[in-house]
Structure 1
Amino acid sequence: MVKKSSLLPRDSRLVGLQSKVEDIVGLLEDPKVPVIAVVGMGGSGKTFLLQNVYKAAKSKYDQSIWLSISKSYTLKNLQDDIASHIGINSKSVSEERAAELIHDHLQGNRSFIVLDDLWTLSTENSLIDKLGRPADKDCKIVVTTRNRQVALNSNSRIYEMQNLSDEDSWMLFCIYAFPNSAGNRAPQHMEEEGRKIGKQCGNLPLAIKTIAASLANTKLKNWEWKRIMTLPPHLKPCFAYLSFFPEDEKIEAEYLINLWIAEGFIPAGEEQWDLAWHWLDQLDKLCMLQVYEKDDDIFIKYCKIHDLLHDLAIHISREDNCVFSVEEVSSRTSNSMGWCRILLANKGLHVFNAISESRPVYLRTLSLSQNWQITSIPENLFTTMRGLRVLDLSYTHISTLPASLGKMILLRLLNLRGTEIKEVPECVRHLKRLLFLALPDGCESLPAWISDLRYLQHLRADCIYRMPRIANLRTLDSFLDFRTEEDKFTRLDNLVDMTQLQKLRLFLDNEMELKRIEEGILAQLVKMRCLAICNNRKEFREFPGKMRAMKHLESLRLCLFVVPSWICEFANLKQLELIDCECNDYPELERMPNLLQLSLIVEIKNFFKICENDFYVC
């Protein structure tokens, strides 16, 4: 397969770091330096520095791996994650055997491994031994850590991170505080106070960017610069909700937005979804979170929060009666009935007795995600939780839900991903205000009664074979499989009346349904923004002219379709992926005004025909 693509690079703003990037890239080229440890305090820019080193150096290696390490990370976790990246399975073997497997796979390959934010390391064995790194000059390991002892234990070349100079601090401050001024120049009367703010931030890049970004585009008088601006009131609860996720976890942006909506943070209305994405973008611009990964470098897919800011989010959440530990739940303090959220994701403890005894009658959110030891939910758990809005039971070993859950009439978000539930539980049909439902992979068909959930807007599953009509559904994050002709629910006709749909993925191996696509049956879904259609019949199909009605389309992925010239009329399209498609004039696609990502994946036999066009191939 050959892939064509064009990407827009993002400004790295390497103030005070360019020389450091060059230093570390130089160390990577030194055959006598197998391990480099970048040491510095939190917020000093270690991760940002390594991100730019990684971009600059990864193309020189056969395999490049980036892992973010949490406080609870073990060496076995480390081995398993590295093994996963290089395509082997080490989860069922010992550390010693895992080391051998990794060693054998890396041997002879030029490998580059980054371990970001390493906290502890056994003194008995070196980092190199535990990773199973081959003893040659072709494998490089770079770690970032706040703990100098960790660096010493790994027998690495230590690279000390120094705080920015006063001038670099001021330059960085201006870039974020005055993004729209010529040359990022500050008004003269603001420079004195601006420089003071940089020093008050200890010349730490993260603190400077956060404060400066919060001041950007605000019309402040000189004396107001003496105060540190706080988050706007509408963003404060959204930021605090980042504490919902364990430290160092990749946060799925779309799920975060669904949490905000379920909690009622985003004003209701037709533009609620767009407004939520706008607020996420604002938090990114204020440096309160980091865009970690984009879907094909266009749409935000994952974000992260720096651990210092994570602590701040927890602090703000505690002020709003949120608890984060089993000990807090068990303490039965005087305000326990007024608890707003109980967030016990990945705590590794059974907490049902503590929750039941505390009787948190005002609870809005309960997260027990990633507690694998949970195998069942007590029937009486929800007795006093009539105000519950969010329930996250994902990645637990439960196989059923108690009937009492059906009494949670205000519940808006239910997450069952990664559980052992095989079909949609009957109690869900009573959750009349449910907005978001995430199902485990075992739920491959939906009951007919799910149509009664008239408020349901977002449905997530791996693959669905039975799909009844859900009138107000906006996003269907699942592949719909139409391979069975006898099932009365697996029909495209059921989608036609779902006129609110904005996100849809279809897997088609059914001749009748493919003919319906050619006839333009989906053209009535005029609000569609993200559409993917996979034709599995191994023959080209016509993409119908009626689909021109999808004027809001931003992302389109097609497999085995004939691409018409009028596709350039999709003026809002940002992302286009064509897999084994037939197109008479590929260069014409470059005329699309807002297209940021164009990917063509073709069979080798068709490659040379496409290359005859004047088009960039990478």
Structure 2
Amino acid sequence: MADPAISFVIERTGDLLIQKIVFLKGVRRQVERLQNDLVRMRCFLKDADQRQDEDARIRNWVSEIRAAAYDAEDIIEIFASKVEMRLKETADSREEYGIKNLGEGMTTHGEELQRIRRSSPLSEDKDIVGFREITKSLVAELLKEDRNRRVVSIIGMGGAGKTTLAKKVYNHADVRERFKCRAWVCVSSSYDYKKILRSIIKQLNEMSKELLEVLEKMEEEDLERRLFQDLQDKCYLVVLDDVWTEEAWDCLAGAFPDVGTSSRLLLTSRNLDVAQHADAYRHPYELKTLGQEDSWQLFLKKALGHGANAVCPPDMEEVGREIVRRCAGLPLAITVIGGLLLGKKELKNEWEKILNDFSTYLSRSQNRVSAILELSYAELPPNLKFCFLYLGLFPEDSVISVCKLIHMWVAEGIIQKRDAKYLEETAAYDDVERLCSRNMVQVAEMTVDERIKSCRVHDLLQELAIRKAEDEYSLQIHDTRDDKISAKSRYLAVHILSRDKNHFGTSPAPLRSLLFFNTHGYEENISLSFESFRKLRVLDLENVMMYSNLPEGIGKVRLLRYLGLRRTSIGRLPHSFGCLRNLQTLDIRTTYVAMEVSNFIWKLESLRHLYARGMECDVPLKIEGLSNLQTLLGIRFDDIMHNNMITLTSLQKLGILVDRRSDIDKLCMHLSEVGSLKTLHLDGSSAISGELPQLPSLAGLSKLHHVTELKLIGKFLTMLPPDFPPNLSRLSLKFRELEYDPMPVLEKLGQLSFLKLEAVWGRQLVISRHGFHQLKFLELYLVYGLHEIEVEEGALPQLQCLRIRKCYSLEKLPEELKHISTLDALELVSMREDFISRLDADIASRIPNLRIF
């Protein structure tokens, strides 16, 4: 299999030959020769991944080629050719070492993987099998009449399905009924005590900006005291998933009161001693491996992708059952190898090849799970390998924003366009789906239209990613205070900061990615010498407290493509920022309301995504001419009006801060010719220049024929717009108070499929049979004063999901819901306990997925 690093550099040098021809004058022939050498080397690397484990000479040679390829890209980016000689010498050394041609033939990978629907992080896997009896026992144990606080434990080896089982129990209807106060937190091997306490508190309380700020400033003792008070009089259930040590339990236990409320803690661990230490009076539930038939059914669901209707072709059953037997009943092993086969054609010889390869990897690995994970990794296409390994940078069990991940992948050059109209971001999202469908990555959260919003990596797979990336891509995780940062590191994730202020030593590493995590508790100012980081493509400082502003030296990091400053204390960007001509993503949603900037944004010609909460500039901010810009959020109305928006030919998503002086009709005319614009946010929630946070008249929206998604926020707006964009399919409205029921107006929007409404009007909301013919998702959020929802017969014929959040005055659900045959999910979030207890059993039984949070 061709090495990803080589493939990327070949693509990159080809791009540079086309794009930078003027600057490469005089060295063009050398760059072409370099590219040709790399193409020839790629032929030898086709199956080197398999062979390098067998021969140390091959392994060392591959490592040299990879390092040289990275150096080549670094140097070519600054228009030099110093590695040509080195690559030539390395290529010649292949013959000197006696390494034969490793072969150019490779079997092609399977067809495009189908999208598979995933559930939310705390809902159970629909393909789960074999846990029926133990689930019943666990639920009964949690519901026992015992007023003391008890700890119920699930133990088992890695990959046995402990978390999956805990989710099934956590979401059980009887458990939800008993424990109105519930929370779930993943502890993991390298836990952050304050982060865990904050997470539980957030799940138990209605969040506000003020509370979030208070929690961030609290020390451990204050957080523990706050959580103890929150739980003091509650019958609570808290899941502590993946507890590794007795010390971790001892650290957490004091925050959970035992005051005779029949509360329970559900704990999962690989360690029997941890479970017995937590509650010596309760025998832990040991999760055994799946039986032969349960293993076979799970395998069929994952490998064939037909859910409950999966049937194995007769001629493949023998080899399929042998593959399952080798998995030894471990759900993770079965799931991952099933995902691997899902990407293959349903051919006997394909399955036999996997079985043979499995035997090879099993002979090298310590256990079956490791062998299967190694095999599944080896079978990934080159770009997916790198995508998967990049996930090793993120902390264990972290929930990873897919949007952020995609921006980083694109910045690293991992993603290649499929064709001229196929954006790299679209290709990157497809790769997220491929990794999920292969079960190498887990879906953490889905959007209502079933797109993956966030993901996570199982800890065993993360261990694999880190191990492979350390060997193959010079990835380093800095997670102890005594760690020394290697001078060879190219990808560095800082999980713990040392007390030594010179974090990166005197000899800078050739870093391409530098990411910081979990550093918000670090009290000293973090200073970075950007002189040392001239090869950086990705720099993520989210949550890092840099009390000084960015130094001017940032302008020398000319290769930088991703810069994340979200939730930092940086208030100003320096003048040198305009030198970052390769920057693609800039996130400046800092702790300040608005970031001070000079008028340099227009110079960032490669910019694709700009996320802000307003930008302060002493002159109108120039943005016209940014032809690559796709996302622009948090820009002021006046700045938009001073620019020719037609020049932003790639703009898809635009978020504008407006006030009551803003002429929306004039704005809409200004934007009407921006044909690429699909999403528009108008935000009047914050006071601007002393004005009241109120939106003006919204006339003119009907001119926006290209806009399909609209979000309006205005706390004091009392009337709906007179018109909407004619092709609108998604609408979010957040108003303080409306004078009338908005449904008669909104139901006439014939293409509307998504509606989220937050407002106040009266006691009743009526949905008639005449409208909302295409509506698939409806959310009512904080609709104060709403007592009754009336749904007429025949209304909402396409509705798939109804979500009701914090509508505290609502007395009951409409009877007509049980007659909507398309309704798949009903989600009730933070509703009153008496509302939940009065739920109509007939309605609940007819809706496939009732979720109560």
Q: Partner letter of residue 241 of structure 1?
A: Y
Alpha-carbon distance between aligned partners in 1 of 2:524 and 2:432, rounded to the nearest angstrom: 32
Q: Which residue of 1 aligns with 2:639?
A: 489
- Tell me whether 1:546 sits opposite 2:703 in the alignment: yes
| Residues 1:73 and 1:325: Cα distance change in structure 2 (over 3 Å) | closer
Q: Is residue 2:266 matched to residue 1:142? A: yes
SS for the counterpart of 2:639 is coil
State the SS of the aligned residue for 1:549. Answer: coil
**Partners of 2:440 and 2:320 in 1: CA distance:** 20
Q: Could you say if the C-alpha distance between residues 287 and 559 of structure 1 is closer, same or farther in structure 2, counting changes exceeding 3 Å? A: same
- In the other structure, the counterpart of 2:51 is none
Q: For the Cα contact (< 8 Å) 1:103–1:134, is it kept in 2? A: no
Shift of 1:78: 3.6
Aligned-partner Cα distance in 2 for 1:548–1:581: 29
| TM superposition shift of 1:94 | 7.1
Measured after TM superposition, the shift of residue 100 of structure 1 is 4.7
Secondary structure of residue in 2 paired with 1:67: strand
Asked if structure 1 preserves the Cα contact closer than 8 Å seen for 2:343 and 2:438, the reply is no
Distance 2:216 2:708 in 1: 47
1:3 maps to what in 2?
A: none
Please say if 1:591 is aligned against 2:773.
yes
Contact 1:480 1:506 in 2 (8 A): yes
RMSD: 3.6
Name which of 273, 276, 290 aligns with 2:425: 273
Shift of the 605–14 alpha-carbon distance from structure 1 to 2, 3 Å rule, reads same
Say whether the 8 Å CA contact 2:296–2:324 is kept in structure 1. yes
1:13 is aligned to 127
Point out the more displaced range, 155-164 or 8-17: 8-17
- Quick one: which of 434, 452, 461 aligns to 2:603? 452
Q: Map residues 460-609 of structure 1 onto 2, 5 A cutoff.
A: 460-464=611-615, 468-469=622-623, 471=626, 472-476=628-632, 478-480=633-635, 488-489=638-639, 491=641, 497-516=647-666, 519=668, 521-534=670-683, 537=694, 541=698, 544-551=701-708, 555-560=730-735, 563=745, 567-569=749-751, 573=753, 575-580=754-759, 590-592=772-774, 596-601=776-781, 603-605=783-785, 608=788
Number of residue-to-residue matches in the alignment: 591
On the 8 A contact 1:532/1:558 being kept in 2, the answer is no
Q: CA deviation at 1:286?
A: 0.9
Structure 1 residue 206, shift from structure 2 partner: 1.1
* 1:468/1:588 CA distance change after superposition, 3 Å: farther
CA deviation string 1:307-364 (max 9, x = no partner) = 10001111221212222248998486xxx45x43222x22222677574534434x32
Counterpart residue identity of residue 384, structure 2? L
Q: Distance in 1 between matches of 2:235 and 2:479?
A: 45
Question: Do the aligned residues in 1 keep the contact of 2:766 with 2:791 (CA within 8 Å)?
Answer: no
Deviations 1:267-290 (A, max 9, x none): 145422111111101111111111
Alignment of 1:410 onto 2:559? yes
Alignment match, 2:466: 314
Q: Is the 8 A contact 1:326 1:351 kept in 2?
A: no
How far the C-alpha of 1:475 sits from its partner, in A, is 1.8
Alpha-carbon distance change, 298 to 551 in structure 1, aligned in 2, over 3 angstroms? same
Report the alpha carbon displacement of residue 210 of structure 1 after superposing the two structures with TM: 0.8
Q: Distance in 1 between matches of 2:178 and 2:666?
A: 48
1:159 equivalent in structure 2:
285
Unaligned segments of structure 1, at least 5 residues = 1-6, 483-487
Q: Secondary structure at the match of 1:265?
A: coil
Q: 1:578 to 1:101 in 2, by over 3 A?
A: closer
Partner of 1:4: none
Letter of the structure 2 residue corresponding to residue 388 of structure 1: L
Shift of 1:214: 1.0
| Cα 1:531–1:176 shift into 2, 3 Å | farther
- Call closer, same or farther: CA 1:540–1:69 in 2, change over 3 Å: farther
- Identity between Structure 1 and Structure 2 (%): 28
Distance change >3 Å, CA 463–CA 208, structure 1 → 2: farther
Matched, 1:68 2:222: no
Distance 2:654 2:248 in 1: 51
Task: Tell me if the contact between 1:67 and 1:115 (Cα under 8 Å) persists in the aligned partners.
Answer: yes
In 2, distance between residues paired with 1:93 and 1:455? 40
Check whether the contact 2:295–2:334 (CA below 8 A) recurs between aligned residues: yes
What are the ranges of 5 or more consecutive residues in structure 2 without an aligned counterpart? Answer: 1-118, 206-210, 359-375, 685-692, 710-727, 797-801, 803-812, 814-827, 829-853
Q: In structure 2, do the counterparts of structure 1 residues 17 and 423 end up closer, same or farther at CA, with 3 Å as the change threshold?
A: same
Secondary structure of the 1:144 match is: strand
Q: What are the residue-to-residue correspondences of 1:343-354 with 2, within 5 Å?
A: 343=493, 345-349=494-498, 353=502
DSSP-derived class of the 1:489 partner:
helix
Task: Work out whether residues 35 and 142 of structure 1, in 8 Å CA contact, stay in contact via their aligned partners in 2.
Answer: yes
- Equivalent pair of 1:458/1:475 in contact (CA under 8 Å): yes
Letter of the 2:778 partner, please give it: L
Task: Give the conservation status (yes or no) of the 8 Å contact 2:577–2:600.
Answer: no
Superposition deviation, residue 90 in structure 1: 6.6
Report the more deviating stretch, 70-79 or 60-69.
70-79
**1:611 CA displacement:** 5.4
**Do the aligned partners of residues 514 and 139 (structure 1) sit closer, same or farther apart at CA in structure 2, a change above 3 Å counting?**
farther
Equivalent residue for 1:106, pick from 231, 236, 245: 231
- Most deviating of 467-476 and 160-169: 467-476
CA distance in 2, matches of 1:183, 1:510: 58
Compared with structure 1, are the counterparts of its residues 74 and 341 closer, same or farther at alpha carbon in structure 2 (3 Å cutoff)?
closer
Name the CA distance, whole Å, in 2 between partners of 1:330 and 1:94. 28
Cα distance in 1 for residues equivalent to 2:178 and 2:670: 48
Of 525, 533, 536, which residue of structure 2 is paired with 1:388?
A: 536
Judge conservation of contact 2:388–2:435 (CA < 8 Å) in 1: yes
Letter in 1 for 2:348: K
Q: Which moved more, 1:276-285 or 1:493-502?
A: 493-502
CA contact (8 A) 1:529 1:555 kept: no
**Whose radius of gyration is greater, 1 or 2?**
2
2: CA distance between counterparts of 1:611 and 1:538?
Answer: 31
Q: Matches of residues 70-469 of structure 1 in structure 2 within 5 Å?
A: 70-73=188-191, 75-87=193-205, 98-122=223-247, 128=253, 130-155=254-279, 156-180=282-306, 183-219=309-345, 220-222=347-349, 223-226=352-355, 227-228=357-358, 230-268=379-417, 269-270=420-421, 271-295=423-447, 298-318=450-470, 319-325=472-478, 330=484, 336-337=487-488, 339-343=489-493, 345-349=494-498, 353=502, 355-361=504-510, 363-371=511-519, 372=522, 375-379=525-529, 381-383=530-532, 385-398=533-546, 399-439=548-588, 440-442=590-592, 443-464=594-615, 468-469=622-623
TM-score by length of 2: 0.62
Structure 2 counterpart of 1:36, from 125, 133, 152: 152
C-alpha distance in 1 between matches for 2:158 and 2:551: 44
Give distance in 2, aligned partners of 1:534 and 1:588.
Answer: 31
Which one-letter code corresponds to 1:391 in the other structure?
A: L
Give the TM-score, by structure 1 length: 0.84
Match of 1:485 in 2: none
Amino acid at match of 1:579: E
SS of aligned partner of 2:329: coil
Deviation at 1:304, TM superposition (A): 0.7
1:589/1:141 CA distance change after superposition, 3 Å: farther
Alignment deviations for residues 415-464 of structure 1 (CA, whole Å, 9 cap, x no partner): 22232211122232111010011222324354321111121111223444
